[in-house]
Chain A
Amino acid sequence: MTTDLTSHSSPEEKLRRELIPEEAALVARIGVFIVMRWIAIAGILIASLLAAQVFRITFPLLPIYIISACMALYNFVLFLQARGLTAEASGSVPQGLAEPLRRLIPALNHMPKATSPLIEKARVIGNVHVVLDLAALTVLLHFTGGIENPFIFYFVFHVIIAGILLHYRVAYALSGLAILLVILLVGLEYNGVIPHVHLEGFASATLYRQGTYILGIIIALTTCLFGSTYMITHISGEQRRRQREVVVLRERLLSEKTKELEEASKDLAKLKEGRRRLLHFLGIVAHDLKAPLAAVQSYLQLMLGGYSGKLAEKQRHMLERSSYRITELLGLISDLLDISRIEAGYIVQEMEEVSLVQVVQDSLENVRDPAKEKGIRLKVEMPKSLPQIRASGIRLQQTITNLVGNAIKFTPENGVIKLRVTQQTDGLHVEVMDTGVGIAAEELPKIFDDFYRGVDTEKAGTGLGLSIVKRIVEAHGGKIWAESPNPEEKLQRGSKFTFTLPKSLVLNRREKGKQSLTRRRKA
């Protein structure tokens, strides 16, 4: 319990702390009681005026006004205190009330400690409320006829408030206090120690001296108050118990979820580590597979270049075929490494701000020579500037180079290949269209499969090109598909490949300057 007046909470602690259900209910109820008290004050005034004017019952009005004013005053003070309670829950007000009150009213120390300082404070405040109210009612009753006033039973309201707000022992104690005050008042008036105010026109003048009547009222009042206390404290106690259960349940759930989260993040760390090791391993494997092939290829090239002497036709042929097969194999190893990297999520790490215009230009550089050899024209339709995108430039370049390269491969000499980039509502669309042999309808769904080599295996490469392209596009969140024949071709021929780059990749910037992703020359 922190009630040190000198302690200061850090700004973080000052942040609104959430009230547990029990606290929230308590604070809400105090608010309700304050409102009820305003209504009661109004009621007292109205009833008094009605009694005096309408029913012509005489009793001094001045004391009533004074008491009402006092009640209004202390209700206002209590209202401010209640506001302080909620402010304190958010930690912006030091807890100053509980300690002094505990010292003033040592009986409070016998109360069992509340489950939170806030609840305890609320209870202390509640005690004060009820005691003040009891006093006020007693005095009011004195000036409005004492035992003659049927509103003597209104003590039941205070008892109900006490039962709801306070600990059950205190509630019983306050009921007892109420009875005591009544007995005191009635007794003192009976004995003439204090003057009795008679309600002229309402009750008999001798009522306040009728012992049996007094006894009757007191017995009725006592049973009424204690009975109500019993009922209310039971209901209230049960509610409080349930609220505490909710808190316990919530904490249990929270700790379970936290444990689950910890497990999950441990698993994630393990997965990441596993992936890192795999990629590292693959890197070594790829290098070790390729290095000897590179050496062999170098020698073959040297022999074909005449460095080991003149070659017979047969020798040349076999060396050329060998070199070609090795190139194929090197390509296959590259592709396999690519696929493993993509599958392991490597592409996401490569993503950065990229200019699609630049990527397209770089890709076209790669295919310029093969296109020229076949006399194929490359037409490009692209807006002058496009917004920058978050992507892997190298991979997109690989994609476009592959698609255009395929188009060149399957288009006969002097054909036309068109590349078009457009900005659509769902993102960027890149289309590669050719006037080549096209793809048969039954083959169309299979072309993106791994190792699909098409009908004409002579021209096919590893069969992984399109499957890698599909993986790259999908790693960017896009889609790729092919249509054959090319719907934009008047003559029914060719194919059209389209892939999309979703809007989520588009950054709100136009390209700033040309940054070259590839080096100036290629070996």
Chain B
Amino acid sequence: MPKKILVIDDDPDIVDALTMILESGGYQVVTARDGIEALARLKTEKPDLMILDLLMPKMDGFAVMKELEDGRWSKYRDTPILALSSVREEAARRRYELESALELGVDDYVEKPVSPNVLLERVEGLVKKRKSVRSRMDR
């Protein structure tokens, strides 16, 4: 069964590009436009991985992460999260973003604009992680 990935970003073109890359990699893709939609989809779709843009209107990636810490979401706690950080910068802005994201429990990150190979590589790594955790739990 193909792995399901939830892509969350307010930029439709980015979502489009990510979807193309992921589907070519054999994954099933569901999308959300902001944090609120994302949490709803999380419940209905139960994805194997979340790709989460950090800066979004209405409810951004950080808020989503904070929300996930709450007990209501404990079922989805071990869904790995790949953060999409803002465009590559060497400055404090990105560092602040990433450090906060890491503190909040992001598993890995990727920078926009996305390079297809890098994305697939990261996704594969994270999905495997989840699988290994689960299989350990099943034992």
Q: State the A residues within 8 Å of B (CB).
A: 283, 286-287, 290-291, 293-299, 301-302, 305, 307, 330, 334, 337-338, 341, 346, 350, 392, 394-395, 397-398, 401, 519, 523
Docked complex Cα distance between A295 and B113 (Å): 7
Is B98 at the interface (CB under 8 A from chain A)?
yes
Are B93 and A398 interface neighbours, CB within 8 A?
no
Chain B neighbourhood of A338, CB < 8 A: 90-91
Are B95 and A394 interface neighbours, CB within 8 A?
yes
Docked complex Cα distance between A488 and B113 (Å): 42
Shortest beta-carbon distance, B56 to chain A, in Å?
11
Q: Which residue of B lies closest to A297 (CB)?
A: B113
Q: Which residue of B lies closest to A397 (CB)?
A: B90
Are A350 and B14 interface neighbours, CB within 8 A?
no
Q: Which residue of A lies closest to B53 (CB)?
A: A291
Say yes or no: A295-B13 contact (C-beta < 8 A), given A301-B116, A330-B87, A523-B118: yes
Say yes or no: A294-B112 contact (C-beta < 8 A), given A307-B20, A307-B21, A334-B91: yes
Q: Which residues of chain B from 87 to 139 have any CB-CB distance to chain A below 8 Å in the complex? A: 87-93, 95, 98, 102, 109-118
Q: Which of B24, B88, B92, B95 contacts A523 (CB 8 A)?
A: B88
Docked complex Cα distance between A398 and B92 (Å): 11
Are A295 and B92 interface neighbours, CB within 8 A?
no
Are B116 and A523 interface neighbours, CB within 8 A?
no
Are B114 and A298 interface neighbours, CB within 8 A?
yes
Q: Which residue of B lies closest to A295 (CB)?
A: B13
Docked complex Cα distance between A445 and B76 (Å): 59
Chain A neighbourhood of B87, CB < 8 A: 290-291, 293-294, 330, 334
Is B39 at the interface (CB under 8 A from chain A)?
no
Q: Number of B residues contacting the other chain (C-beta, 8 Å)?
A: 30
Docked complex Cα distance between A295 and B110 (Å): 14
Shortest beta-carbon distance, B86 to chain A, in Å?
6
Say yes or no: A307-B91 contact (C-beta < 8 A), given A287-B86, A298-B14, A301-B115: no
Are A346 and B14 interface neighbours, CB within 8 A?
no
Chain A neighbourhood of B21, CB < 8 A: 302, 307
Chain B neighbourhood of A298, CB < 8 A: 13-14, 17-18, 112-114
Are A299 and B90 interface neighbours, CB within 8 A?
no
Is B55 at the interface (CB under 8 A from chain A)?
yes
Shortest beta-carbon distance, A89 to chain B, in Å?
54
Q: Which of B24, B92, B110, B111 contacts A346 (CB 8 A)?
A: B92
Is B45 at the interface (CB under 8 A from chain A)?
no
Docked complex Cα distance between A341 and B111 (Å): 21
Chain B neighbourhood of A295, CB < 8 A: 11, 13-14, 17, 113
Shortest beta-carbon distance, B87 to chain A, in Å?
4
Are A299 and B13 interface neighbours, CB within 8 A?
yes
Docked complex Cα distance between A330 and B102 (Å): 25
Q: Which residues of chain B from 18 to 46 have any CB-CB distance to chain A below 8 Å in the complex? A: 18, 20-21, 24
Question: Binding site of A, secondary structure by majority: helix, strand, loop or mixed?
Answer: helix
Chain A neighbourhood of B109, CB < 8 A: 519, 523
Docked complex Cα distance between A301 and B93 (Å): 25
Chain B CB within 10 A, most for which of A287, A294, A346, A398: A294
Q: Which residue of A lies closest to B23 (CB)?
A: A307
Are B91 and A341 interface neighbours, CB within 8 A?
yes
Chain A neighbourhood of B102, CB < 8 A: 519
Are B110 and A523 interface neighbours, CB within 8 A?
yes
Are B14 and A394 interface neighbours, CB within 8 A?
no
Chain A CB within 10 A, most for which of B20, B55, B87, B117: B87
Are A398 and B91 interface neighbours, CB within 8 A?
yes
Shortest beta-carbon distance, B124 to chain A, in Å?
14
Docked complex Cα distance between A261 and B17 (Å): 57
27 A–B pairs (Cβ distance < 8 Å), ordered by A: A283-B93, A290-B87, A291-B87, A291-B112, A293-B87, A294-B11, A294-B87, A294-B113, A295-B14, A296-B13, A298-B18, A301-B17, A301-B114, A302-B116, A305-B117, A307-B116, A334-B89, A337-B89, A337-B93, A338-B90, A341-B92, A392-B92, A394-B95, A519-B98, A523-B109, A523-B114, A523-B118
Docked complex Cα distance between A337 and B91 (Å): 9
Shortest beta-carbon distance, B107 to chain A, in Å?
12
Are B114 and A334 interface neighbours, CB within 8 A?
no
Docked complex Cα distance between A377 and B114 (Å): 31
Q: Which residue of B lies closest to A366 (CB)?
A: B90
Are B55 and A287 interface neighbours, CB within 8 A?
yes
Chain A neighbourhood of B17, CB < 8 A: 295, 298-299, 301-302
Chain A CB within 10 A, most for which of B18, B93, B95: B93
Chain A neighbourhood of B95, CB < 8 A: 394
Q: Which of A290, A301, A401, A519 contacts B90 (CB 8 A)?
A: A401
Are A394 and B11 interface neighbours, CB within 8 A?
no
Are A291 and B11 interface neighbours, CB within 8 A?
yes
Q: Which residue of B lies closest to A291 (CB)?
A: B11
Q: Which residue of A lies closest to B113 (CB)?
A: A297
Chain B neighbourhood of A401, CB < 8 A: 90
Docked complex Cα distance between A394 and B94 (Å): 10
Docked complex Cα distance between A290 and B93 (Å): 14
Q: Which residue of A lies closest to B111 (CB)?
A: A523
Chain B neighbourhood of A296, CB < 8 A: 13
Docked complex Cα distance between A291 and B86 (Å): 8
Docked complex Cα distance between A313 and B114 (Å): 23
Are A294 and B92 interface neighbours, CB within 8 A?
no
Chain B neighbourhood of A297, CB < 8 A: 112-113
| Given A291-B86, A298-B13, A307-B24: 16 more A-B contacts, CB < 8 Å | A286-B93, A291-B87, A293-B87, A293-B113, A295-B13, A297-B113, A298-B17, A298-B18, A302-B116, A305-B116, A341-B92, A397-B90, A398-B91, A401-B90, A523-B110, A523-B114
Say yes or no: A334-B90 contact (C-beta < 8 A), given A295-B11, A297-B113, A301-B116: yes
Q: Which residue of B lies closest to A326 (CB)?
A: B113
